[in-house]
A and B are shown apart, each in its own frame.
Chain A
Amino acid sequence: MIIRIATEGQYELTGQALAELDAADNAMLDAIQHADAQAFARHLANVLDIVRSRGRRLDDRELKESDLVLPPPDITLEEARDLFAGYPRDLAP
């Protein structure tokens, strides 16, 4: 699976790492729902760490569409809430 960390680049992740990512994602979703900024930052860092350490970094010359796009590493809880709750605000024709 091709995963992009927004503002950073793409990685390829397979196997067990994907299951770990899925669990970490759910924990992060819970933190967003509970508006827990500290937990959000912790889980986001964990999610990014899984992708960076277990994934293979794609060459900058490869032109591939991502299956998943993760938020930028410096995103705040407020920005994350706004980004996801605002969908599809900026897509009107």
Chain B
Amino acid sequence: MGVFSRMTTILKAKMNKLAERLEDPRETLEYSYQRQLELMQKVRRNLAEVVTSKKRLELQVVQLKQTLSRLEEQAKQALKAGREDLAVAALNRKAEIQQQIEGIEAQARGLEEEQKKLEVAESRLRAKVEAFRAHKEVVKAQYSAAEAQVRIGEAATGLSEELADVGMAIERAQQKTENMKARAAAIDELVASGVLEDRVNFGAPSSPVEQELAKLKASEQVKADLARLKQEVGQA
């Protein structure tokens, strides 16, 4: 099991480095416990950050949906004024923004998943810390016996591995959140500067085929919207 055993080795080496720092088993236990508490705080901070980012994306969707209503109204007014060209332009922008909304909503769902994963990690870690805290007190009380030292080693190793694992879960969630935050900031800027009518890549399909399909979908949406609005303003 080449890959697996190597990964185990990586984690073990990190654990040993941690254990080597302190020699007194009681200090090691306290140090490990402190590390656990710090990590739990980190998990909670990350959770809060993910939730904030998700809410920010949801707010952007609300803002963009308001833009949709405005564009719909503009298209209707243009039709009433006999300017179908302007109506089509407004509906094109509307279709484009609709696609951006879909992209942002997909990202918000991604953050929702990250949030759930972090909640699981946090709950797992909380249970381990509680188990460790109880174990630590017993071992400290029995420290004079040589046997206790062996048990300290076992507990610390199991915990250090959990530390490394939960740490990895947080790191991965953090990376994903950072990416989404960067995209959210880009959309904020576009909303603020009013350049949303320009083609932006945010949430846009990546491959040429997907882009063509998206254009097709947008064009069909524009036609349908135009027909509907014409009916509404009595021009059908």
Query: A-side interface residues toward B, CB under 8 Å?
Result: 4, 6-7, 9, 22, 25, 28-29, 32, 59-72, 74, 80, 83-84, 87-88, 90-91, 93
Contacts and interface: CB of A to CB of B under 8 A. Distances in A.
Interface string B115-144: 001000101100110111001000000000
Interface of B: 1-11, 13-14, 17, 117, 121, 123-124, 127-128, 130-132, 135, 154-155, 157-159, 161-162, 165-166, 168-169, 172
B161 A66 contact: yes
B168 A6 contact: yes
Would you call the interface of chain B mostly helix, strand, loop, or mixed?
helix
A68 B1 contact: yes
Contact of B4 (A9, A60, A69, A93): A69
Contact of A87 (B10, B117, B169): B10
A84 B3 contact: yes
Contacts of A62: 131, 158
Nearest to A93: B17
A68 B2 contact: no
Given A64-B158, A65-B161, A67-B8, A29 B2 contact: yes
Contact of B6 (A65, A84, A90, A93): A84
Nearest to A63: B158
A63 B7 contact: no
Contact of A88 (B8, B13, B117): B13
Contacts of A60: 123-124, 127-128
Contact of B3 (A6, A9, A25, A64): A25
B159 A91 contact: no
